[in-house]
Structure 1
Amino acid sequence: MNKQCLSFTFLIFLKQINLEFKRITTLPLQSRFLSQIDELSGKLLRLFERRGGQVGRVLEDIVAPVVQGADVDLIRGCIIKGLCAYLNEEPGNLVMEYVGGDETNRRQIEETTVGIYIRKQDCNSKPGDIGVVIEGRVVLRQVDNFPLAVAMLFGLIYALNLDYPHDLKYTFEVFQKILMELEGTTLSKKVQVLKNRLHE
């Protein structure tokens, strides 16, 4: 399948995910998810900076690329990975980054329950492919950027009524109940603490 055909297929599927999510929730998925990350990014970065210990050092490395005037998708991606780390969840459980495209990568994707993959030609190149994986199958390819892929993954999980992955349950709870403000009356203790700190 040529790149133009893949791109067209992606746009149709992207539109279907957005429409189905809006039908279920009455909220726009893509625009709301990304704008809420933008709106909370300053507060989240301040929380990340104040976090101490081992988690604080991990957060420092994750948000190091965020500088004045950085690309908005880079900032959003750092915020999402930082959120995982802040909640004591491993960002690598959400996103797998590969260089090249060998058999090992294919096996790792097949063993992934839910996640995002980013494939690059080499360490210094831009992503050649970003995709969404559910139950070991690539369900969406050629996504424009990592934050959009996360929004689509969240939308698919929510629309298909799938359980959140156990090792990312707090991250997805934040996506659902804080970012998207869906069913946000009952929060886990960890997410409630985060919400309180965001509103200080």
Structure 2
Amino acid sequence: MMEKTFAHRRQEVLRDAPLVADYKSRWPALFCVRELTAEFKRITTVGLLSKFFSELDAHSSNLMRVFGKKGAVQGRKIKSIMMPISQTDAIDVRRECIIKALCVYLNEEPENLVKEYMDTDGESSEAAVMETMFGIFVIRKEDAEPDDDPEDVGVILEGVKVLDELGNVPLAVVMLFALVYALNLSYPPQLRYTFEALQKIIMELDGKRLSKKNQAVCLLCFHSNIFLSC
């Protein structure tokens, strides 16, 4: 059914630019991992999860090497972000640390992407989540270890909790990325370069034109100079 209604859904998104809450009410089946993954492939012909995680893992060693050379305030923040990797070999933790460190390396704040709360925060965290226009929320136990599963992980758009119970931050990042395509959204200015890197370097979508910041990432990490400045 979702395959058959795809053209109608795309026309509605592109023509009417509906509010997220209205679109979720009209097409509730879309807002799950399976259907979002399928929708992304309908739009791009690219397999979302396999492509994203295989490329992120393949580039991890180079990214970590470059992150390790960063100095000053950025370098200290990256070092702090990467610390859980030395405490656990959990792949989800490694991926989360690399994504957050990439934000910092590109002069963006990972807190604008991932907002973390303790399970004791209660109503205050719920209110803060509902004020989020674009991002991921994570609820953790107060004394959680790096490899402990969060209590909840989800995606917020326009103050609407569109996905929850995702299990880990990397999956939430992928789903947020897919929602940008499914809902024809723009990247927020404060995360422009991070999502450009995810789109053009990791997912290799429209990757021939990169901002100068991400050209530098390619040159340092992958020794590639094939990208043209936007």
- TM-score for both structures, normalised by structure 1: 0.90
Is 2:120 aligned against 1:97? Answer: no
| Contact 2:118/2:142, CA 8 A, preserved across alignment | yes
What is the CA deviation profile of residues 5-42 of structure 1, one whole-angstrom value per residue up to 9, with x for unaligned ones? xxxx9998111100000011110111111111101110
Partner of 2:99: 80
Q: CA RMSD in A?
A: 1.9
| Contact 2:85/2:94, CA 8 A, preserved across alignment | yes
> Which runs of no fewer than 5 residues in structure 1 stay unpaired?
1-8
Cα–Cα, structure 1 residues 69 and 126, in superposed 2: closer, same or farther, change >3 Å? closer
What is the CA deviation profile of residues 72-111 of structure 1, one whole-angstrom value per residue up to 9, with x for unaligned ones? 0010000000000110100100001111242221221122
What is the CA-CA distance between 1:120 and the residue it aligns to? 2.0
Q: Which amino acid aligns with 2:133?
A: T
- TM-score for both structures, normalised by structure 2: 0.79
Aligned counterpart in structure 2 of residue 182 of structure 1, from 184, 200, 205: 205
Structure 1 runs of 4+ aligned residues shifted over 3 Å read: 9-12
Point out the structure with max Rg over C-alpha.
2
Partner of 1:109: 129
Is 2:159 aligned against 1:136? Answer: yes
> Which runs of no fewer than 5 residues in structure 2 stay unpaired?
1-27, 224-230
Is 2:65 aligned against 1:46? Answer: yes
Cα–Cα, structure 1 residues 176 and 61, in superposed 2: closer, same or farther, change >3 Å? same
Partner of 1:196: 219
Query: Higher mean Cα deviation, 184-193 or 38-47?
Result: 184-193
Is 2:77 aligned against 1:58? Answer: yes
Partner of 1:126: 149
| Contact 1:33/1:179, CA 8 A, preserved across alignment | yes
Cα–Cα, structure 1 residues 111 and 68, in superposed 2: closer, same or farther, change >3 Å? closer
SS of the residue 2:209 aligns to: coil
Q: Tell me how far apart the structure 2 counterparts of residues 11 and 69 of structure 1 sit (CA, whole Å).
A: 34
What is the CA deviation profile of residues 38-69 of structure 1, one whole-angstrom value per residue up to 9, with x for unaligned ones? 01110000010001111000011011111386
Q: Tell me how far apart the structure 2 counterparts of residues 196 and 10 of structure 1 sit (CA, whole Å).
A: 41
What is the CA-CA distance between 1:113 and the residue it aligns to? 1.1
Cα–Cα, structure 1 residues 198 and 169, in superposed 2: closer, same or farther, change >3 Å? same
SS of the residue 2:85 aligns to: coil
